[in-house]
Each structure stands twice: as C-alpha cells, then as structure tokens.
Amino acid sequence: RSSDLTSFCMDREQRKWFVEKDAFWPGQALCIEIDEWLYDAKSKLQHIQVFKSKRFGNVLALDGIIQLTERDESSYHEIIVHVPLFCHPNPKKVLVIGGGDGGVVRELLKHPKVDEIVQCEIDEDVIQISKEHFPDSRQDSNQTSSFSESKTERSI
C-alpha cells in the first residue's frame, strides 16, 4: 500500500489518533483515539500495530488496516465460525486461513464434532503479538488456549 492510503495525524511521539484510510472505502476514514501505543513494528511481511483505545480496548492493525478490537472481536469470530458449522451436518476437519489472533480457532473448539483444525498463518509475529496483547481472543471461558489445543495444527 502507498503511504498516502494510511496516514497519522502527528509524528510517533505525539500521535493521538489512528486514522484508517484505504482505497477500498473511497470518501471515508475511520479515526480512533489512542490512549497508548503497545506495539509498532514491521515484521518480515507487514507493518503490525497494537494500541490501546478508550472505546475499543486493544486494537490490532496490519498495514494500517484494523483487523481486530477487544470490544467487538467476539461478534466477528462467532459469526464467521458458528453459522457455517451449524449449517454443516457433520464438520470434522476445518481449515483456517489466517486467524493469527486465535479467535476463530477458539470458537471452532466449542464444536465437539470438530476433530481437526489446521491453521495456515503467514506471519508468526501476528500470533506472538496476539498472545501478548489479546489473551481473551484465544481463550474460552475455561481458560483453554486455542494456541495449545491438541486438535489444532499450525502451519506458518
């Protein structure tokens, strides 16, 4: 992406707002007030940012595009998993493309008929950063981690 698609209001020390602008959504931008920067670095594949916001809790952005917020991650992960699995008569094996934050796998583990989950994530840094900054995204109510479940195989 070109630098004009994603911009920030101020320099690194003074940024108070995260501004998401992308050619996919011409004529609009999403702005979220930043309480604190938690992570801001480039992996081998993409720019990964995590910040704490007043309204949404921790926010994950990849290449300047918001992927996940603590406030609404469960509604996204639940709908992407439960609707197709409840429509399938006997889901046994599931392939997850991406999903480095662990939320999709967390929801898949709620289905006892699922015997095997294979997750293909291109960026191991997303998994590591999510483990640190989004612990609820990968744990169910019994504190079972989607990253350590024996049904799950990861390919990076």
Q: What is the pLDDT along the chain (156 residues), one digit of tens a residue?
A: 444 434 444 444 556 889 998 888 889 988 999 999 999 999 999 999 999 999 999 999 999 999 999 998 888 899 999 999 999 999 999 999 999 999 999 999 999 999 999 999 999 999 999 999 988 765 554 444 555 556 666 666
Rounded Cα distance, 83 and 79, in Å: 6
Rounded Cα distance, 139 and 103, in Å: 8
Residue whose token pair is 């024996």: 150
Q: Give the C-alpha distances (Å, rounded to integers) separating 46 from 4, 13, 40, 43.
A: 16, 21, 11, 5
pTM comes to 0.79
Where does residue 28 rank: exposed (0-12), middle (13-18), buried (19+ CB within 10 A)?
Answer: exposed
